[in-house]
Amino acid sequence: MQFLRSGISKSLLAIIIILIVVIAGVAVWMYTMQPKGPRKLIVLARSGTYANGLKIAAEEYKKKTGIEVVVQELSYSGLHDKLVTEMLEKTGAYDVVMLDDPWLAEFASQDFLVNMDELLKKKGLSVDPDFIPSTVEVCKYKGTLYALPYVGNVQLFVLRKDLFSKYGLSTPKTWDDVLKAAKIIYESEKGKIYGYVIRGKKGNPVVTNFLPIFWGYGGRIVDEAGNPVVYSDAGVKALKVFIELKKYAPPGTENYGSAEIKAALYNGKTAMSIVWPAWVPALEDPEKSKVAGKVEVITPPGAQPMIGAWLLAIPVTSKNKDAALDFILFVLSKDMQKKLILEAGVPPTRASIYMDKDVIAKYPWYPTQLDALKHARARPRLPQWSKIEDILANYIHQALTGTLSPEEALKKAQDEIAAVLKG
């Protein structure tokens, strides 16, 4: 009996050992078969249309790779503040971040963003020449690529072609032409339709609304040596025209933001305005606009449209840089850019999409938008741009409201900008 029990014990022991070895082998095999890389990526984005586009791309990316992409969205100022916080605290919470193009210098200069040139080179990749050059240039700081262009945003100009025809007006080529047409329409319509509408809300809105006029008269923010030159004959002339246009704009336009501009256009209460591409589709939608079929979209007068591209970058703190790049390239592929413009209204950064027949059928002004992008001008690539923008906003708004003369406003702005640049 002792021999029997001993034999049984040895057999069981052998079986147990075999099972352990088999189970361990299976476990190792299963581990090695697990997909390499992260199970989840976190993207920090601007709320609204652009974040919605990323969510659509995220769903498609998960189908392709199994990787979940979570899009966290914030307001314009909230996004900038969160990026600053992450840059300082280095939590590694985000794998991809969205940037307004003038922010690039601020964050690249502080070594917060991955060198995209180096990352692409390691993968044997380069920037596809299909990307519109101006959208790629704003992804660079001191010649080095730190992001890739996601949204082909550029300022456009809309006018009521029915009113221009009614009063025998030609398409404006300069801001003097705009001022003349605004006066004629306002006075002829006896105030029932305003000649122009200004996006005058203090902050980013008033600066971006003023800059095409400022540039159109030859104004510059800094010279080749990096010295501020906003206080100039050209700058003063531009600000005087900006203030003059207010005479033919709706009351309270000095506090108008995007919502008020769109309402004034869609309700047929104004004849002209600088617009962003995302605002245009509703203008041609009879269910949303009283002027569908009555507007024309052109490049802003003075041929100085401002680019407002949104970029995708990778923080140096991301633990998933390779996967983050893969997701960005997926978002920016031709197929996905076409899907995002047709389904979410995200303006593309690839030239070929602007000439796609399906896209033009839905957005007939897209060849004009492509032309504007090709000739677009960027805001200065300065790390201090956010502070400079705040200074400009403060003094342009004071001039617009009559608190300061154009000369006083630009002189004070120049002095404060000089102090910021000296640091």
Report in angstroms the alpha-carbon separations of 183 from 177, 187, 211, 234, 241: 10, 6, 21, 22, 12
CA-closest candidate to residue 312, choices 179, 188, 147: 147
Q: What pLDDT, on a 0 to 100 scale, did the predictor assign at position 11? A: 61
List 74's β-bridge partners, or say none.
46
Q: What pLDDT, on a 0 to 100 scale, did the predictor assign at position 303? A: 79
Write out pLDDT tens, residues 241-292.
Answer: 999 999 999 999 999 999 999 999 999 999 999 999 989 999 999 999 999 9
Confidence of residue 12 (pLDDT cuts 50, 70, 90): low
DSSP letter string over 163-224? HHHHTTPPPP-SHHHHHHHHHHHHHHTTTSSBS------TTHHHHHHHHHHHHHTT--SB-T
Residue 122 CB-half CA count within 13 A:
9
Task: Using CB atoms within 10 Å of the CB of residue 209, give its burial: 0 to 12 exposed, 13 to 18 middle, 19+ buried.
Answer: buried
DSSP letter string over 141-175? ETTEE--EEEE--B-EEEEEHHHHHHTTPPPP-SH
Between CA 138 and CA 380 the distance in angstroms is: 10
If one counts every other C-beta atom within 10 angstroms of the C-beta of residue 233, the result is 10
Q: What pLDDT, on a 0 to 100 scale, did the predictor assign at position 4? A: 31
Average pLDDT, the chain: 92
Write out pLDDT tens, residues 114-125.
Answer: 999 999 999 999
- Strands 40-46, 68-74: parallel, antiparallel or unpaired by DSSP? parallel
Whether 29 shows a pLDDT value over 50: the answer reads: no
Q: What pLDDT, on a 0 to 100 scale, did the predictor assign at position 423? A: 80
CA 143, 149, 151, 152 dihedral sign is positive
**What is the mean predicted confidence (pLDDT) over 118-145?**
97
Q: What pLDDT, on a 0 to 100 scale, did the predictor assign at position 10? A: 60
Q: 183: which 2 tokens?
A: 């006066």
What is the set of domains in the chain, with CATH numbers?
Answer: 40-152+309-374 (3.40.190.10), 156-306+384-422 (3.40.190.10)
**What is the mean predicted confidence (pLDDT) over 72-89?**
96
Q: 59: which 2 tokens?
A: 């769903």
Between CA 339 and CA 53 the distance in angstroms is: 9
Write out pLDDT tens, residues 194-225.
Answer: 999 999 999 999 999 999 999 999 999 999 99
**What is the mean predicted confidence (pLDDT) over 14-42?**
60
Report in angstroms the alpha-carbon separations of 306 from 22, 227, 299, 309, 410: 66, 21, 10, 9, 20
CA-closest candidate to residue 328, choices 54, 46, 52: 54
Question: Do residues 97 and 72 make contact, with C-beta atoms less than 8 angstroms apart?
Answer: no
Report in angstroms the alpha-carbon separations of 65 from 23, 58, 96: 28, 10, 17
Q: 70: which 2 tokens?
A: 């979570």
- Strands 140-141, 144-145: parallel, antiparallel or unpaired by DSSP? antiparallel
Question: Do residues 216 and 238 make contact, with C-beta atoms less than 8 angstroms apart?
Answer: yes
